Each structure stands twice: as C-alpha cells, then as structure tokens.
Amino acid sequence: QKYVYDFTEGNKDQKDLLGGKGANLAEMTNLGLPVPPGFTITTEACKAYLDTGREPAGLAEQITARLAALEAAMGKRLGDPDDPLLVSVRSGAKFSMPGMMETVLNVGLNDRSVVGLSAQAGGNDRFAWDSYRRLIQMFGKTVCEVPGEEFEHALDEAKSAKGVTNDLDLDADDLRALVDAYKKIFSKHTGREFPQEPREQLDLAIHAVFESWNAERAILYRRQERIPADLGTAVNVVAMVFGNLGPDSGTGVAFTRDPASGAQGIYGDYLANAQGEDVVAGIRNTVPLQELERLDKKSYDELLSIMARLEGHYKDLCDIEFTIERGKLWMLQTRVGKRTAAAAFVIAGQLVDEGLIDLDEALHRVNGAQLAQLMFPRFQLDHEFQPVATGIGASPGAASGKVVFTSARAVELAAEGESVILVRRETNPDDLNGMIAAQGILTSRGGKTSHAAVVARGMGKTCVSGADEIEVNVPAKRFTVAGQTVGEGDVVSIDGTTGKVYLGEVPVMPSEVVQYSEGSLDPEHVDNALVRAVHRIMTHADGKRRLAVRTNADTGADAARARRFGAEGIGLCRTEHMFLGDRKELVERLILARGADEREAALAALLPLQRADFVEIFREMDGLPVTVRLIDPPLHEFLPPLEQLAVNVAVAQERGEDVAKEEALLAAVRRMHEENPMLGLRGVRLGLVIPGLFAMQVRAIVEAAVACAQRGGDPRPEIMVPLVGAVQELETVRAEAEKIIEEVTREKAVEVLIGTMIEVPRAALTAGQIAEAAQFFSFGTNDLTQMGWGFSRDDVEGAFFWRYLELGIFGISPFESIDRDGVGRLVRIAAEEGRAARPGLKLGVCGEHGGDPDSVHFFHEVGLDYVSCSPFRVPVARLEAGRAAI
Ligand code: PEP
Ligand code: MG
C-alpha cells in the first residue's frame, strides 16, 4: 500500500487521504508555485498506526525513499553536520482543526549540524542556536510530553539574568547556554538524552503527530464541530525555510478577500525576521501586509500575483501562509478560507459577477445557518466598544442588560421590566427560571454543548458560553475581566454570534436582511452588497426548489408577516392559541357545563369568535392554502392549577365565604387531572369525547371561508385532525365534519380538504390505512420525536440533553434537527405507504424541524410537498429547499 506521496503526486481533491494541508500543498506544487519540497504521509498510515500502535509495514521504507528524493532535490542531507537539510513535521487532517494537533519544526538539528546551519546562514550563530533551542522545546513538549512551562521558565530566566525582556536580545552565547538548560530539562523528564540521530527525530515526530489525533483537546474539538472521530490525520514533512534569517526575511498570512465583509482588497499581516510561531504567539506586533510592498517589492508583487492565481484556480476566497527567506518567497499553506456569514453571501455574489462560478454553485456556497445569523439584530460597533472577553457564540443574537448572578434575582428584576443578563460560571437545571427571565446568558465555562448553550438555543435566547477570561464570583455578586470589576446591576452586552462580551450598552441595529426579506429594502435600489447578494441567491433558490414553504401562524398579523417573508400558505394554525386570554373563561364554561344545554351555549359563544379569527387569517392568506388544526392540548391547560385552586378554596371556606363555584371548578380540575397529559386526553381524543367541540370549530372554519368567498376572496381551508393514531378516529371526525361542510357550503361553494397530522408512531406505521380517509398528511415531528424516542419534549432539554450531547449519544437535539435514522424512518414509511394507498397524497411537515436546514434536505429527499415553519424561518427554509434541489 502506498502511504507516502510526494507533493508532486497529489491534488486538492485528495483531502481524505492527504488531509487538507497536504492536498493543497500538492495542488500548489503542481500549479508551479514556490512550495518548499516535501511529502505527505497519508491518513491511512495514521489510522493503521493508531489501530496497532505500530507503523504499518512498508511505511519506514517509503519514508526512506521519499526522504532520499527530497535530499536529492535540495542537494542536502537531513541533519548533515556541514550543510543540514531540516524539515518541519506538520499535522493536517481532512477538516481544519486549528491548533488542535502537533507540529515540530527544525527536525534534523543536533549538536553537530547546528554548526553547519550557522555556516549555511552566513555565520549566523544566533540563528542556528535559536533554531536548535526551538527544536528541543517543541520536540520535548509534543513528542515527549515534557511540560512546556519548564522551557518557558528557563527562557524567562535567561532573559531576566541578562536584564532583557525580548527574546531577540539574547545572543548566540545565551542561546547556546539555553540549549544546555533545555537538554537538562529534557533528560530530567524523559530519562534519556535529547536524540541526536536525525532519522530518529523524524520518526518520533511523525508518531507524535499521529497520536495527536487522539489528544483530549482534539477529541473535544471534533465532538463540538461534529467531525468524525475515525478520519485520522495526515503528516506533512516539508523542507524548512526560514523567515528569521534577518530583515530580508519574514513570515505572514493573507486572505484574497476580506473574510469579514467579503470586500475585495489586500488583507493580511506580516512580521519581518520571524517564524510562523512568533506570529501565533503574538510576541511582536505584525504590520499590515501592504507594508511588505515597501520592504520587499519583488516578493510583494509575486505574492499578489500568486494570490490572484489561487483565487482563480480555487474559484473562492483563499487564505495563505507564506515565508520569505532572504528575499525568496515560499508558500507554506493555502486553503479555501473561513469567512463570516455576510462575507459568504457577498463573495458568492462577486464570484458569479466575475464569471468564476454560476448561481447553482453560489447557492452551494451559502447555507441557511448563515442566513439565520444574518437575520438577528446586530450590535452597532464603533471604536468606542472593544470586547473585554471572547467566549463561544453559543446561541445567536445581540443582548444587553443588567448583570445578575442568580436565577432568583433575574426573575425579580425582569418582573420589574428590566432587561437582565444572567452571568454564571456554568448553568444547571436550577437556573432555568433565570434563563427564561433573562435577555441573555453569559457563562465562563463550557462549550457549544454545555447546559447553558443547549438550553439557550432551545429557547432562542442569546448566549455566550465559555468566556474564560471572566472570573465569576457568585457569592460576592461580581465578576472580573481585563482588570475591571463588574457588579450586579452593571450593564453588559453579549453577542451570541461572535461570542464577544462588551461592558456597557452597545446600541443594536436591525438586520438589513430582515428588512429586505420583509420588503422594506429594495435590493435594486440599495447600496448594500450584502442585500444585493442575498436577493440574488434567494431568487435563484426560489427558482430551483421543489418544496413549497409555508408558515406556522395563528394570527392575521403573523400570517401577513410570514407572507412578506415568502410563505406560500399556512401549514399549521394552532387553534388552541385562540382559546387563551379573555376566552379562557368561555372554555372554562364549556368544561364545567352540566348537560347538553350549558355545553351548547358555551360552544355557541365561542363560535363567532373563532369565525372572526379565521376570516382574518383567510384574508391575509388569500389564494393560498391555510391548514387549520382542530384543538389539540388537554383541556385542563385552560383551567387553574390544582394546588393553587385547592388552597384558594380552603382559605375561602375558612373565611366562611360561598365557594360553590370554586368547588365545582376544583372538582372539574380533579376530574380532568392526568398524570401524563401529553399522552392523555388531547387532540382527536378530545374531539371524540366532548360532543360538539370539533363541530363548532369546523363550522367556524367553513363559515369564515364562505364569508370570505362571498366577498370575492379565494380562501383555501384545509382542516387538520391532530394526534390520530388509528384510521377509525379520523373517519369518525371526518363523517361529522363533512356533514357540516356540506350544509355550510350550500350557500357558496368552497373547497375544503380534510387531512390529518401524522405525529403518533402508530399513525406513521398504519399510514396506508389512514391515507384512505385523509386528503393530506402533515408530519408533526415534535410529537413524533417525543413519542418516537419517549422524550418528554417540555422537560428533557433542560434536564439531561446537555449530558447526552457531551457523551455524543447524539450530535444535536432530535427536537432541533430530525433524527433521520429513527423518527425520519417513520416519516419515510408514512410518506411511502400513504402515497401508495392514495397516489398524489399531499404531504407536508409542520413540526419545528420544518425550519431546520438539515431537516429541510431530508424532507426534500423523502418527497414531501412542503415544509412549514415559524415566520422568521421562512427565508431560511426557502434557501435550504433551493440548496436541496441542486
Ligand atoms: C408537532 O407535534 O410536531 C406539531 C406541529 O404539533 P404541536 O407542536 O402543536 O404538538
Ligand atoms: Mg403535535
């Protein structure tokens, strides 16, 4: 098996085998760009090594052969005492895992070749000894697990002994002494001398890079970023070039466009007389890349022309690392660069303009998560505001408020109308009330899957987690950051997209993408590159998608807003939401009714109110389908809570008041009490148990439709029955409904469809039978997930999902993104068997998953006709439906 590839042998599409870095180094080599020669050891070799703890057979020989070729190309031998070839050994996995794995530079240096290196560098002793001490330090730390602080310590001691603070003030003799000190540290910790044999150094470094795939931080990072654990890393062995050979040398990073805004121009940083690690360590300040033009015009021009070439070749924003060694430019790395959500849209639009990509490709380059980010309000940041800490953007949004440290205080202040930010080291289920009350949540510990992050995302609440520069002291009600103390009541602002934390109230500005989506910004007449790019790509997505996008809306106002966002109808109108407020009392009357007369009177009082609601909704969605779902939740939700009521009655009795009415209510609440209401009397079961309830709703819907039609409107009602598990349930409701429809539409013909939710697993598994009685199915994936997994949807996220995510039992909450294998399978079965029984059966989804990017792709794949989601997510669903179709 071939385990080692010369850079001339690979290409950019071999990331699985060569890792991202190796594949791109090969690509650049083959483009004829100045890449230092080298070779890549494949991820296959890494996997074999990790499986067995030994190099796979043949790897050593292949390395020997490639190394010989490298030595021939460079005209030097690895570690040669007189004129040594030195190499770097760098990790490079398929997906970039910045800073997670290991690199060892200057491999090949030893007590003898350090002299040769000095001669090679024109008698630069300082440089040679500095390179040697860097090797011992990196090798010791990464290969032999010597604690890094010990080297840092020795370096600090050397500086303070000399009375200097800058590394550059140590001369060759100081560094030679430091090398001795480093070697002592090395042998103290490893029980052996620092290896002098160059090939042994190389082999050990390669093994260390292999092993760094399973370093704890790498495992954690993969879990967070959902990178599979079994990919392994490739290892790149590259001839060293030096940016620290004097003022005509240096190192830098550059982007072919601004990764923040997407604007074209020259973006990058340069550091003269330095190696890459100095830039990362921030020892000295870099200068803007433009400065290089003054310092070394030849290299600068060459760099710019290479960048243009790379962009044209990759047809995308590239980021690069380069080094200049005594006036000679070397490319050390390139890759398609990370970028902000705004830049993703802007760049995709620009590349279409430049003819580099077409609109399908532009649509590939952006995604719904990015669009969703752009729909949150943003902080308006001028120079006045500098972040004091940066954590993880755990749940997007921009929130400002008074700092509180306890859940109780959050609830208190929020009740006074204050906006508060709950600050904790980390949150736990006891903080739930405080999280609900707060505008935003800030924690100093924990990542994207911490309790705070998971719960905040579930609530749609802004959250920054793991801002570890912040020292939280809950008992003292303060935190310290950047030398400042922030107490309870002080105002902070947190950006849940970038993870940045600011002191004081940062003004918030509305999202231009929302303004555009709502039609209040005209993309043709606005000087805003982002809005124009979004418009163009959205228009293309709309042209490509097969899935229609509807909305979940229960009021005329929501319906109107969703329609402006592009909704093509209502996929779910939850009628129980129309029973709240003042109407609760009418529902109470219905529940307490003694005998048919009282019940009918209560229903008669509700009828006109329901009808008026539907008229408004049909008007806003004129010409588009409106799916109205008959009442779903258990009726006791409309009654006061049992304990409270019992106490009230007892107190009133004590006082000798007349409590006949309260007692009746209490008796009803007791009668209706359920241990497990989500599995109890709700949905179609209610309709079958309370005579006249569904009939009243059906009548209200159809009368409203007839009224609209009579006024020249085009109402398209679809009546949906919730929680059906057996076709007989649906048949019973349908027979009654059809009679009413027949009667009411005698006045004016209106077509009314009758269909069902598929949200009980049994319904999915008997979809063939149910389809005989249903004109459409709408998948209620919230309940289907709840009942499919047996997870109480109202409890689990706060109770233990964070732990499940931490353990990797699932990568994302199944309530957020469809569980394709389990719940998704139920959807697939029901779709197939439903359509087999009734060809052309209309299929949609109205659970939360309808607005989740990955789930939209799934619903496209299983052949649904539409997804339905909250108004705000309609643009995201449109975009993803378009992406799913190309
Ligand atoms: C569902 O269960 O997915 C659904 C849309 O209904 P609800 O969320 O109202 O239970
Ligand atoms: Mg449901």
How far apart, in whole angstroms, are the C-alpha atoms of residue 541 and residue 876?
A: 10
User: Does the annotation flag 334 for ligand binding?
Assistant: no
CA of 723 to the centre of ligand 1 (A): 9
Predicted local distance difference test score (pLDDT) of residue 794: 78
Give the number of whichever ligand sits closest to the CA of residue 794.
1
Q: At what angle do helices 341-353 and 529-544 cross, to 10 degrees?
A: 80
Q: What is the DSSP string of 343-401?
A: HHHHHHHHHHHTTSS-HHHHHHT--HHHHHHHTS-EE---TT---SEE-EEEE--EEEE
Of 846, 857, 860, 869, which is the active-site residue? Answer: 846
Predicted local distance difference test score (pLDDT) of residue 279: 65
pLDDT digits (tens, 9 = 90+) for 82-109: 999 999 999 999 998 877 778 899 999 9
User: Does the annotation flag 783 for ligand binding?
Assistant: yes
CA 117 to mean position of chain CA atoms: 47
Predicted local distance difference test score (pLDDT) of residue 281: 59
The answer to whether the CB of 847 is under 6 A from ligand 1 is yes
CA of 815 to the centre of ligand 1 (A): 11
> What is the mean predicted confidence (pLDDT) over 733-739?
98
- Is the model more confident about 194 or about 263? 194
Q: Tell the residue number behind the tokens 């057979």, with chain if given.
A: 57
How far apart, in whole angstroms, are the C-alpha atoms of residue 630 and residue 687?
A: 8
Query: Using CA positions, which residue lies closest to atom 8 of ligand 1?
Result: 782
How far apart, in whole angstroms, are the C-alpha atoms of residue 448 and residue 467?
A: 12
> What is the mean predicted confidence (pLDDT) over 513-532?
88
Does the active-site annotation cover 451? yes
Per-residue b or e along 630-668, where b marks 16 or more CB atoms closer than 10 Å to that residue's CB? bbbbbbbbbbbeeeebeeebeeeeeeeeebeebeebbeb
Of 207, 451, 636, 860, which is the active-site residue? Answer: 451
- Is the model more confident about 404 or about 509? 404
Query: Using CA positions, which residue lies closest to atom 3 of ligand 1?
Result: 780
The answer to whether the CB of 577 is under 6 A from ligand 1 is no
Per-residue b or e along 114-147, where b marks 16 or more CB atoms closer than 10 Å to that residue's CB? bbbbbebbeebbbbbbbbbbbbbbbbbbbbbebe
User: Does the annotation flag 780 for ligand binding?
Assistant: yes
The answer to whether the CB of 780 is under 6 A from ligand 1 is yes
* Residue 40 near residue 235 (C-beta atoms within 8 A): yes
If pLDDT is split at 50, 70 and 90, which confidence band does 166 have? confident
Instruction: Provide the sign of the torsion angle of the four alpha carbons 685, 824, 780, 837, taken in this order.
Output: negative
Q: Give the containing element (helix H, strand E) for 135.
A: helix 125-138
How far apart, in whole angstroms, are the C-alpha atoms of residue 496 and residue 128?
A: 47
pLDDT digits (tens, 9 = 90+) for 281-295: 555 678 899 999 999
How far apart, in whole angstroms, are the C-alpha atoms of residue 571 and residue 108?
A: 67
Q: Check whether 481 has a pLDDT greater than 80.
A: yes
Pairing of strands 508-509, 500-503: unpaired
Predicted local distance difference test score (pLDDT) of residue 603: 94
How much is the ipTM here? Answer: 0.99
Q: What is the number of H-type helices and E-type strands within the chain?
A: 37, 33
Strands (E), 30-146: 38-41, 77-78, 84-85, 87-93, 103-107
* Residue 342 near residue 458 (C-beta atoms within 8 A): no
Q: Tell the residue number behind the tokens 């009411």, with chain if given.
A: 744
Predicted local distance difference test score (pLDDT) of residue 284: 67
Record the tokens describing residue 135, joined without a space: 């090797």
Record the tokens describing residue 635, joined without a space: 């009726």
Q: Which atom of ligand 1 is nearest to the CA of 847?
A: 3
> What is the mean predicted confidence (pLDDT) over 11-16?
95
CA of 633 to the centre of ligand 2 (A): 9
* Residue 877 near residue 869 (C-beta atoms within 8 A): yes
Predicted local distance difference test score (pLDDT) of residue 455: 78
> What is the mean predicted confidence (pLDDT) over 613-632?
97
pLDDT digits (tens, 9 = 90+) for 656-712: 888 888 888 888 888 888 888 889 999 999 999 999 999 999 999 999 999 999 999
The answer to whether the CB of 332 is under 6 A from ligand 1 is no
The answer to whether the CB of 788 is under 6 A from ligand 1 is no
User: Does the annotation flag 699 for ligand binding?
Assistant: no
Q: Which atom of ligand 1 is nearest to the CA of 722?
A: 6
Q: Which atom of ligand 1 is nearest to the CA of 552?
A: 5
What's phi and psi for 374, nearest 5 deg? -75, -10
Q: Check whether 578 has a pLDDT greater than 90.
A: no
Predicted local distance difference test score (pLDDT) of residue 283: 59
- Is the model more confident about 279 or about 522? 522
The size of the chain, in residues, is 886
The answer to whether the CB of 574 is under 6 A from ligand 1 is yes
Mean pLDDT of the chain: 92
> What is the mean predicted confidence (pLDDT) over 845-860?
96
Lowest mean pLDDT among 192-196, 362-366, 585-589: 585-589
If pLDDT is split at 50, 70 and 90, which confidence band does 760 have? very high
212 closest CA partner among 97, 321, 302, 347: 97
Query: Using CA positions, which residue lies closest to atom 9 of ligand 1?
Result: 574
Exposed (0-12), middle (13-18) or buried (19+): which is 743, by Cβ within 10 Å? exposed
CA of 829 to the centre of ligand 2 (A): 19
pLDDT digits (tens, 9 = 90+) for 805-850: 878 788 888 999 999 999 999 999 999 999 999 999 999 999 999 9
Q: Which atom of ligand 1 is nearest to the CA of 778?
A: 5
How far apart, in whole angstroms, are the C-alpha atoms of residue 844 and residue 852?
A: 14
CA of 567 to the centre of ligand 1 (A): 19
The answer to whether the CB of 781 is under 6 A from ligand 1 is yes
pLDDT digits (tens, 9 = 90+) for 443-479: 998 777 677 887 787 677 899 998 989 999 999 999 9
CA of 329 to the centre of ligand 1 (A): 61
* Residue 333 near residue 19 (C-beta atoms within 8 A): no
> Domains of the chain by range and CATH?
4-239 (3.30.1490.20), 250-336 (3.30.470.20), 376-509 (3.50.30.10), 545-634+680-885 (3.20.20.60), 640-673 (no CATH)
pLDDT digits (tens, 9 = 90+) for 128-156: 999 999 999 999 999 999 998 999 999 99
Predicted local distance difference test score (pLDDT) of residue 66: 97
User: Does the annotation flag 781 for ligand binding?
Assistant: yes
CA 881 to mean position of chain CA atoms: 18
